[in-house]
Every structure is written in structure tokens, then in C-alpha cells.
Chain A
Amino acid sequence: MQDTVHALLMREIKTRFGADRLGYFWAIAEPVAQASVMAVIFTLLGRSSVAGIPVAIFLFVGILPFKFFGKLIPQIGAAIDANKALFTYRQVTAIDPIITRILIEAVTFIVVYVLIFTAMAWLGFDVFPDDLLALLAACFLLLNLAVGLGLLLCCAVTYWPDAAKLFAMVMTPMFFISGILYCATMIPEQYWYLFSWNPIFHLIELSRDAFFVSYKTPIGDWYFVSFVALSSLSIGLMTFRINRHRFTN
């Protein structure tokens, strides 16, 4: 299994990041650029900061996990198809390319996260999260949620290939209703019910709560997101197991 994942890692890294060393640069530069452009725009628009938090940091804490979520799910969804010929070897089972892609995306996410916040620290912002453990817990739950949904997508595309397009369509409005550009305290209380169903909204709220001691989220609920994330992972794994025959042919 380690050998197989190692072999798949080398193979995926090469096709993803290109043959030359510049590929690694683009893997990091692309999400950094996306998040930074948005942060610069909103800073220049002169948005007032929330609870004394600089706008750029506020945005990064929301954008980065959301991008990770939106990238990992289609990557898992396409993992089987992209490596189909390699299942010829009995060492390679359906879960191996999934594990490989989770590793690649998670490591990229961590590197991008650390890089951006290091750059912000260099620019003079206070970037160290006030409750690092809670922030890591939120990221971990996000990972579980995304892996579960990714496995479901992976099974869904074997029945209906357009499922991946549907997912992409859903992700665009999700960007605006997941509390990336705003937080719960900016929304009038009577409309909270419109957002409180959304586990990503909860996770971003909880991340900000963990990051800034001055921000207390009125909505973010650890029990709710834990329940959704772990259910997603277990349902995803079960569905994947039941459908494992569909991946080999």
C-alpha cells in the first residue's frame, strides 16, 4: 500500500505539476494569487474591519478552506478515471488514487496557508491564531466533509458522468452563501436560519472564532459540523465500498 501510494504520488505530481520544477511554483502560486487578489480588492474598497480584525486576514481565513474544499472534491471524483489503466496491477486498488489525491491536496493547502500567513506576518499583521487547536479541528472536520462528499461524487460519476458538472454549478453560489466575504454578526438575526444549515458556513465561522479571540461566532456549532462531517465520511466510505466493483471495469 505504501509503495502503491508512493508510485501514484510520483505519477500524479508529474502530470499535475508538469515535468519541470516550475510546476510546483504554479501549484502554490495559483491559489495564493486568487486569494490575494480578492483580499486586495476588499481592502481597497475600504471595508471596515470586524471586531478589530484586518480585512485581508479575515478573508484569507474564509477563502483558503473554501478553495481547498472546492478543489478536493472534484479531484477525488476524477481520481479513479484518471488512473484507470493502472488498476491492471493487483497492487493498485480503487482507494489508492483517492488517498494519493487527498495527500496532494492537503499538503498543498497547508503549504499555501502557511505561506500566505508568513507573508502577512512579514507585512506586519498579527497572524498567529489565538486557538490553534480549534483551527486545526475545523480544518480536520472540513477534510472529513470533503472526503466524504468526494467519495460520493466518485461513485455518482460512474452512474451519471455529468455529476461533476452539477457539483461545479453548486459550488459557485456556495461561495457567496458560505460566509467567506462576511460573517454571522453582519447578518440580521432573523435571517440566520438561511445560513445555519450550511456546514461550510459553520466551519468558516468556527475557524474565525478560533483564529481571533475578539470574534465570537453566534452560529458556528461544533456538534452540528462534527455530526455532518463524520456522517459524510462514513456514508462516503460505505457507498465507495458498495460500489467498488464499478471502478474496475
Chain B
Amino acid sequence: MIHFNNVSKYYATKQGRHYVLKNVDLALPTDRNIAVLGPNGVGKSTLIRMLGGADFPNKGQIVSNQKISWPLGLQGGLQGSMSARENVRFVARIHGYKNTQKIEQQVDDFAEIGKFFDEPVKTYSSGMKARVAFGLTMAFDFDFDVLLVDELGAVGDANFRCKSEALLKEKYEKTKLIMVSHSMGELRKNCQAGLVIINQDLRFHTDIESAIKEYEEHYVATS
């Protein structure tokens, strides 16, 4: 379980505080894959970042005894001025690995971006970034209980999608996903439950279909 205890998160804007979440109390089960639904700018990425410990609530706390991954997405995670290899080394080092060569090789093999592996990440296309970010997360031999994925699939080509799905299945049998995506097809395929962000609150649905239904009723204008 992931527990939200009276969590509030806001951003300071010129017109005052913009709340993303306000006084959220929730216990999120971690025994199934969860889709996070909401329109752009409603706070999906912020939620994922807070779950991954990359950002913090302004009030309240998020506690869990599960091993939760870092947010796996296109923004953040890779420092633009460093090459993919240096980023991989960095992540291996903060996890206490002394010899980083094996992990570097694994990510290099998975990403298949050739000589760009040693070029700064800021020169990459978003697809290349996705390959490195995904390969990096998969290269470690510790297992996460929950993997946070923030719209990573959208930019990959068919080959990358096949490879990443196969790798996920094989390596992460026990791992559950918390996933942001705007592709309902992808969410239906991967997730059993849904979490909709409405009115600065989180609404959990045990069934993905009912979550999609609420999302569409609330946000999608039918014309």
C-alpha cells in the first residue's frame, strides 16, 4: 500500500497558489497496475514525481514500505549536459555500485543508439531519451515493487515498444506499474485499476473501465 496522509501540493503562481492536490487522504493498493488519468496540467507528472521521491508535498506525507522506482519519463532523470554513459554511471554510483561497466554495457545494448551513447543527452531526440531512460531502469539487479512510468511509450518506435514490453514481462513479474499515458488503448492493455485526478483530489477506481468512464464524463467534451 501507498498511503497519502493529508497531502497537499501547490505551485506558486503570479495569481497565488495553484493547488494540484488538496488534503488528499488515500490508501493506494500496490497489488495491481494503476493508470493515472487526467488532462494536461492537472498534476499527473507531479503525482508520479512525488511517489518517486523526486518532489515533495507542501503539506502531509506519502508513506509506503514498498520499493518504488524513480519516475521513468522524459523529463528529468537524465542530465542534459552529461552523456548517457555518464548518466548511467551516476545512477549506478548513487546505488552503491563500485564497478559500473557491466551496467553501462547493458544499457548501451538495450538503447541501441550507437555512438550517441557518449554524446550529451541534450542532443538526443525524445525517442532516444526514452530508450536510455528505460534501459537504465531495467539494468539494475534489484527489483522494484512499483514502477512509475510517465508517458514513456508514446515516443518509442515499434521495435522499442516490443523490446520494452518483453523486458518488463520477463524481468518484472512481481512488479506493478503506476502509469501515465494519454493512450487509452495502452492503459487498457496494461492496467487493471485507475486513478483519476479531479478537483485537486484523487479518485481511485478498482476497475479501469469505470475510471476511464469518469475521466471522459468529467473532462472530455462530447460533441
On chain A, the residues within 8 Å of B71 by CB distance are 88
User: Which residue in A6, A7, A14, A90 is a CB contact (below 8 Å) of B54?
Assistant: A90
On chain B, the residues within 8 Å of A10 by CB distance are 89-90, 93
A-B pairs with beta carbons under 8 Å apart, 9 shown: A7-B94, A11-B86, A85-B80, A86-B90, A88-B52, A89-B77, A89-B94, A90-B53, A245-B56
Asked if residues B91 and A15 are in contact (CB atoms below 8 Å), the reply is: no
CB distance from B141 to the nearest CB of A (A): 16
Residue of A nearest to B55 (CB): A248
A7-B90, A7-B93 given; 5 more Cβ-contact pairs under 8 Å: A3-B94, A4-B94, A15-B82, A89-B91, A90-B54
On chain A, the residues within 8 Å of B54 by CB distance are 87-90, 248
The 5 closest A-B pairs by CB, nearest first: A90-B53, A7-B93, A88-B76, A85-B79, A88-B77
User: Is B142 among interface residues, defined by CB-CB distance under 8 A?
Assistant: no
User: Is B199 among interface residues, defined by CB-CB distance under 8 A?
Assistant: no
User: Is B185 among interface residues, defined by CB-CB distance under 8 A?
Assistant: no
CA–CA, A85 to B86, complex, Å?
Answer: 13
User: Is A48 among interface residues, defined by CB-CB distance under 8 A?
Assistant: no
Number of B residues contacting the other chain (C-beta, 8 Å)? 25
User: Is B105 among interface residues, defined by CB-CB distance under 8 A?
Assistant: no
B91-111 interface code vs A (CB 8 A; 1 in, 0 out):
101111000000000000000
A33-65 interface code vs B (CB 8 A; 1 in, 0 out):
000000000000000000000000000000000
User: Is A91 among interface residues, defined by CB-CB distance under 8 A?
Assistant: yes
CA–CA, A3 to B93, complex, Å?
Answer: 6
Asked if residues B95 and A88 are in contact (CB atoms below 8 Å), the reply is: no
CB contact list, A78-100 vs B, under 8 A:
82-92
Number of A residues contacting the other chain (C-beta, 8 Å)? 23
CB distance from B14 to the nearest CB of A (A): 13
Please report the number of residue pairs spanning A and B whose Cβ atoms sit closer than 8 angstroms.
62
User: Which residue in B11, B55, B78, B90 is a CB contact (below 8 Å) of A11?
Assistant: B90
On chain B, the residues within 8 Å of A3 by CB distance are 93-96
User: Is A249 among interface residues, defined by CB-CB distance under 8 A?
Assistant: yes
CA–CA, A248 to B94, complex, Å?
Answer: 18
Counting chain A CB atoms within 10 Å of each CB, which of B54, B56, B58, B95 scores highest? B54
A8-29 interface code vs B (CB 8 A; 1 in, 0 out):
1011001100000000000000
Whether A85 touches B76, Cβ cut-off 8 Å, given contacts A90-B70, A245-B58, A249-B11, is yes
On chain B, the residues within 8 Å of A6 by CB distance are 93
CB distance from A208 to the nearest CB of B (A): 41
User: Is B81 among interface residues, defined by CB-CB distance under 8 A?
Assistant: yes
Asked if residues A92 and B94 are in contact (CB atoms below 8 Å), the reply is: yes
Asked if residues B82 and A91 are in contact (CB atoms below 8 Å), the reply is: no
CB distance from A86 to the nearest CB of B (A): 6
CB distance from B97 to the nearest CB of A (A): 9
Asked if residues A88 and B93 are in contact (CB atoms below 8 Å), the reply is: no
CA–CA, A82 to B82, complex, Å?
Answer: 11
On chain B, the residues within 8 Å of A15 by CB distance are 81-82
User: Which residue in B70, B81, B82 is a CB contact (below 8 Å) of A89?
Assistant: B70
On chain B, the residues within 8 Å of A84 by CB distance are 76, 79
CA–CA, A82 to B79, complex, Å?
Answer: 9
CB distance from B48 to the nearest CB of A (A): 11
On chain B, the residues within 8 Å of A248 by CB distance are 54-56
B27-57 interface code vs A (CB 8 A; 1 in, 0 out):
0000000000000000000000100111110
Asked if residues A14 and B56 are in contact (CB atoms below 8 Å), the reply is: no
On chain A, the residues within 8 Å of B79 by CB distance are 11, 83-86
CA–CA, A248 to B54, complex, Å?
Answer: 7
Residue of A nearest to B91 (CB): A89
CA–CA, A92 to B91, complex, Å?
Answer: 10
CB distance from B98 to the nearest CB of A (A): 10
Whether A91 touches B77, Cβ cut-off 8 Å, given contacts A11-B86, A245-B58, A249-B11, is no
Residue of A nearest to B57 (CB): A245
User: Which residue in B49, B58, B77, B96 is a CB contact (below 8 Å) of A85?
Assistant: B77
Residue of B nearest to A246 (CB): B12
CB distance from B138 to the nearest CB of A (A): 16
CB distance from A30 to the nearest CB of B (A): 21
On chain A, the residues within 8 Å of B82 by CB distance are 11, 14-15
Asked if residues B81 and A90 are in contact (CB atoms below 8 Å), the reply is: no
CA–CA, A6 to B93, complex, Å?
Answer: 8
